[in-house]
Structure 1
Amino acid sequence: MQLTSFTDYSLRVLIFLAIRKKSSIAVIAESYGVSKNHIVKVVHNLGKLGYIKTNQGRGGGISLAMSPENINLKKLVVQTENFYIVECFHPQGKCKIASVCKLKGILYEAQTNFLNTLENYSLQDVLHNENEIKQLLDE
């Protein structure tokens, strides 16, 4: 399974803000070498979901709306990811063998295990080496 770049960037924006406390879209995009347009979409969505807050004007910027230990990785991934990993997961899927194939059940079990693992972690768990992350972001 591969997460979409949208989910990847969502996680990276939250990591950046947890380390820096406050920043801007331009600085985050430049630091990661990612398109500013992608980060705009990610920041907009994270704001709608309540993970970040934005303040405009002098001294403004983007910051976390909650502490890193309150940001559950499973919840974030579920909110940003499409889990129709194969056609038979989609309600309008048209796989001819779906009614007799065991693949759907196996993949569902794997997906469930993946999400159950993420449920045990928060953004804070990712920040155990905060100084090293900060150094790399400064390069």
Structure 2
Amino acid sequence: MFKGRGFTLIELLLVIALLAILASMAIPSYLAYRDRSKVSNFALSIASACAKDAMADCVSRFVDAPTTFDLSNLPNCSNVNTAMGNVEVLLDGSYTCAPGGVASGTVKGVLAGVNNYTAVCEFGGNSFRCTVR
């Protein structure tokens, strides 16, 4: 008589169900991580370059009173196609030059196709900080 040494059908179905539950929790986290890394690698570097141009522009202008400027006139503040293919990075915002440097402003880099994360560079105290939100 044959003595079976294996898994029963119920045991196999339980393992498959458990793997499906774990995958359903892991896949959304992975997709969010992937989108955040895309924004970090592409939009954040472009927004940071734009913010550096704004800082340099304010230092080169000798303004007597706070004056607001548009980002569209700066060389690194235009839309860019990245290595991800036909991906457009949209930059928007403005900055205010004060005597001695940048007083305030914001640069936002939005990667087309990624709606849940944005690269943001904020000016303050003659410096800027870039983050992904």
Between the two structures, name the one with larger relative contact order (CA 8 Å, sep ≥ 6). 1
The structure where helix makes up a greater share of residues is 1
Q: Normalized against structure 1, the TM-score is what?
A: 0.28
Report which of the two structures shows the higher radius of gyration computed on alpha carbons: 2
The structure where strand makes up a greater share of residues is 2
